[in-house]
Structure 1
Amino acid sequence: MSIESPFGAEALLIKPEQLESWIMEESEDIIVLDKPGWVVCHPSKNGPWSSLVGAVREARGLDRIHLVSRLDRETSGVVILAKHHKAASQLQTAFSKRNTKKRYLALLKGHLKEARTTESNLEKDPESEVVVKQRVSFGGRGKSALTHFRPLEYWGPHTLAEVTPESGRKHQIRVHAAWLEHPVLGDKIYAGDPSWYLEFIENGWTDRLDRELRYPRQALHAADLEVWGEDWKFTFSAPCPFEAEGYRTLAESETA
């Protein structure tokens, strides 16, 4: 049975007042938002108010909006959109040159005892029924990825960790966390049974997922983003929402 949840298979429509409450900074060039974990970045078939890009375009009466930094739907935190081509080009050039620093917060399964760094190549997993699933690869295949994990505190049997990726590969943090045997809580692809993801995209948040997975979205948050060029620099921060979403209470209710 499907359970009514903002983290369902189909994202809820964004309300104009919600969008305004997510805006952290806005100028003639950019708009920066603190995206919740149930919001899709890219336009979808359900109309403009079903995605962050569509909602901003409608709210500001723009013909086009440029998604400069994106997050997976279930990852919350800092997202930058550019209002015109020149701003988009400058920001995209900075990202391509890796003139960026990114800091995430993640709630990981188990106790991460010490800081760990994972460096590997990543590639699409051809053996998985989940078509978007990535995996650590060997033999020179895939693209290089480097991720640093640092434990901050324990929430019950789990770890609130700071994560700093030095590359931007698809699902990088989630794949590397699982490789360390400390997957991101709520991750429907990498935290356990891949059938969780297949069930979710078919039926939304179900009784079985609530019972077995417990966390309705992956506990991953883009907390800080710094990006710079030759004569400019932006720094943005979004507060961690895990406690407000009840994740600390849920984590501390579990036994080690």
Structure 2
Amino acid sequence: MSNPIIPDPRAVQVDAPEIAESEFIESILFENDRVLAVDKPGWLVCHPSKKGPGSSLVGAAKRYLNLEKLHLVSRLDRETSGIVVFAKDRGAARTIQMGVEARKVTKSYFAVLHGELAESQVIENRIVPDKTSEVRVKMRALPTERDPKIRTHFHPLRTFNGQTLCKVVTDGGRKHQIRVHAQHMGHPLVGEKLYGSDETLYLEFCREGWTERLTHALSFHRQALHCGDWSMENNLELPALVASLPSDMAQLVGEKPSS
């Protein structure tokens, strides 16, 4: 389709609560004079918003640090929770970026997938923009082309109610990589609006927010994806970072949330 009707997700204004400064402080996983790492909630956009500092993770971080300039070096989609890393200066940002490019950064996620995944799967199908979609930012996996630089490893941990809790490890960092590869595998994320069976759910959510149709169609209010581990070989005194499964996903999989 030549004229996608959703040009940019940052232009879509979906009502979401703001993050209070006290809540942001509680989310801090690590901080030194060069780096700040936080556990992002699954309803907060990373990029700055015109609605004030509490309406985005970058805004909340700048407010907390009282800084005009901050480098977002490890970001997540709006509905993905977990570890996000900021660099406080350009040199630290460059060090982390070089680590990413040299594949010295290791990340793993928890994901809840539709269906029962019996054994580990590795998906390495090439990811390209989906030019057939009405959503400009949507990507798709090519069924016959491989790209070993963007492998996604899905490791099932347990199944429940026709769903599978997986540990997911990525090689590379293509946009929406886990979500696209999960859909390609035939096991889309629980709560997925864009890479599920019906992308009109995403369009409706963008226009109208949470509706009765979404309530009936989706068993979870967001994509069930959480970045739980992040580490890098570095000289920034940055330790391996761990973010426990958040309360909403813990409840989904029947685990007791971490205190």
TM score, norm. by length of structure 2: 0.88
Q: Which residue of 1 aligns with 2:189?
A: 184
1:83 to 79, 88, 91: 88
2:132 to 119, 127, 135: 127
Q: 1:230 offset after TM fit, Å?
A: 6.5
Question: Cα deviation per residue 1:205-233 (whole Å; 9 max; x = unaligned)?
Answer: 11110111121100000010111137866
Question: Cα deviation per residue 1:182-241 (whole Å; 9 max; x = unaligned)?
Answer: 111001011111000000111111111011112110000001011113786631010012
2:16 to 7, 11, 19: 11
Pair 1:97-2:105 in alignment:
no
CA distance in 2, matches of 1:123, 1:235: 32
Larger CA deviation: 106-115 vs 56-65: 56-65
Q: Is the 8 A contact 1:219 1:242 kept in 2?
A: no
Q: Which residue of 1 aligns with 2:156?
A: 151
Pair 1:214-2:226 in alignment:
no
The alignment yields a C-alpha RMSD, in angstroms, of 2.0
Structure 1 residues 191, 86: CA separation in 2 closer, same or farther (over 3 Å shift)? same
Structure 1 residues 31, 232: CA separation in 2 closer, same or farther (over 3 Å shift)? closer
Helix, strand or coil: the match of 1:198?
helix
Which residue identity lines up with residue 170 of structure 1 in the other structure?
A: K
Task: Report how many aligned residue pairs link the two structures.
Answer: 242
Aligned-residue identity in percent: 42
2:234 to 209, 229, 237: 229
CA distance in 2, matches of 1:155, 1:73: 26
Q: Is the 8 A contact 1:143 1:169 kept in 2?
A: no
Which residue identity lines up with residue 37 of structure 2 in the other structure?
A: V
Helix, strand or coil: the match of 2:204?
helix
Larger CA deviation: 232-241 vs 185-194: 232-241
Structure 1 residues 114, 139: CA separation in 2 closer, same or farther (over 3 Å shift)? closer
CA distance in 1, matches of 2:238, 2:89: 18
CA distance in 2, matches of 1:13, 1:231: 31
Structure 1 residues 67, 154: CA separation in 2 closer, same or farther (over 3 Å shift)? same
Pair 1:56-2:74 in alignment:
no
TM score, norm. by length of structure 1: 0.89
Q: Which residue of 1 aligns with 2:7?
A: none
Helix, strand or coil: the match of 2:239?
strand
Q: Is the 8 A contact 2:30 2:37 kept in 1?
A: yes
Q: Is the 8 A contact 1:122 1:144 kept in 2?
A: no
Q: Is the 8 A contact 1:123 1:143 kept in 2?
A: no
Q: Which residue of 1 aligns with 2:6?
A: none
Larger CA deviation: 70-79 vs 234-243: 234-243
Helix, strand or coil: the match of 1:234?
coil
1:247 to 244, 247, 252: 252
1:116 to 98, 116, 121: 121
Which residue identity lines up with residue 248 of structure 1 in the other structure?
A: V
CA distance in 2, matches of 1:14, 1:30: 20
Helix, strand or coil: the match of 1:77?
strand
Q: 1:139 offset after TM fit, Å?
A: 7.1
Q: Which runs of 5+ in 2 are unaligned?
A: 1-12, 255-259
CA distance in 2, matches of 1:143, 1:136: 13
CA distance in 2, matches of 1:175, 1:164: 14
Which residue identity lines up with residue 167 of structure 2 in the other structure?
A: E
Q: Is the 8 A contact 1:11 1:40 kept in 2?
A: no
1:201 to 200, 206, 213: 206
CA distance in 2, matches of 1:248, 1:81: 30
Q: Is the 8 A contact 2:153 2:168 kept in 1?
A: yes
Q: Is the 8 A contact 2:34 2:236 kept in 1?
A: no
Structure 1 residues 45, 142: CA separation in 2 closer, same or farther (over 3 Å shift)? farther
Structure 1 residues 141, 207: CA separation in 2 closer, same or farther (over 3 Å shift)? same
CA distance in 2, matches of 1:130, 1:44: 21
Helix, strand or coil: the match of 2:229?
strand
CA distance in 1, matches of 2:147, 2:129: 8
